[in-house]
Amino acid sequence: MSSFTLPSSASTIQVNLTPDLTREQLLKFHPFSSWLSKLQHSLALQSSSSDHPFHREEYSLKSITIQSVDFFGSGDRKRIGFIKLLTSVENPKGESIPGSVFLRGGSVAILLILEPEGAGGGQWAVLTVQPRIPAGSLEMVELPAGMIDDAGTFAGAAASEIEEECGIKIPEDKLIDLTSLALKGFTSTEGERLGKAVYPSPGGSDEFIKIFAHVYKIPQGTLKDWQGRLTGLRDQGEKIALKLVKLEHLWKETRDAKALSAIALWDGLKREGKI
């Protein structure tokens, strides 16, 4: 196992690597650098704020041990997909904070609302049904979603996911950023650093989700045509079916945290007249 040190305002941080990972690869992996920057900023708040709960017994990052790396692609296109790591974060008393981390970076989710033309059509939400082995399910019902990859922007990734999973092409500027709207004016220093996003599992992963919405008007007969239609990138192993549900029933049609967060944000913003 090779290792190197990172400079820190408090002390150096030892980073232990797996045999298949180099220092350069790790430092170029954006989820790692982003996570480290957020953590170091949060640790710095201990000394800069006298009312911080850890002000008198400050914690510091001592070491980072990379436990495993999943690579995507091959040859020239090989890149880091996910990293599992363990941190040592301690205070002068020897007390530690658990730091088992699954790094995967940011993702996007889209609340796509279909609005049939004419009176009485109501609003319908588009959900996907697909295998999710980590959840132990072959028929997980959830919002269209995907990891930030080569799209460049959150909105760009969201638009790509809609087109890939639902077959609908929507300009980026027509997407409503629910997370940014809901957290507009949020003044917490720590909150600003974390960004305007939802964190579904902060006890184990760095993943943060930007949630977008779009209202799409369709002809009345299209609803029946779309129900159960297979979509997705089949050549990449995706097997996705569409599931359409009444928007007001969305909260009880899925256990997907993205969907539940999206409908909570949508309803809250509607109540306050922001959308």
Give 61-75 pLDDT, tens digit per residue: 999 999 999 999 888
What is the predicted pLDDT for the residue at 151? 47
Residue 89 or residue 9, greater confidence: 89
CA end-to-end distance (rounded Å), the chain: 53
Residue 5 or residue 155, greater confidence: 5
CATH topology of domain 106-271: Nucleoside Triphosphate Pyrophosphohydrolase (3.90.79)
Decide if pLDDT at 154 tops 70. no
pLDDT band at 49 (very low <50, low <70, confident <90, very high): confident
Decide if pLDDT at 39 tops 90. yes
What is the predicted pLDDT for the residue at 244? 87
10 Å Cβ neighbour count for 76?
6
pLDDT digits (tens, 9 = 90+) for 59-117: 999 999 999 999 998 888 889 999 999 999 999 999 999 999 999 999 889 999 999 88
Burial class (CB in 10 A: 0-12, 13-18, 19+), 73: exposed
Q: What is the mean pLDDT of the chain?
A: 85
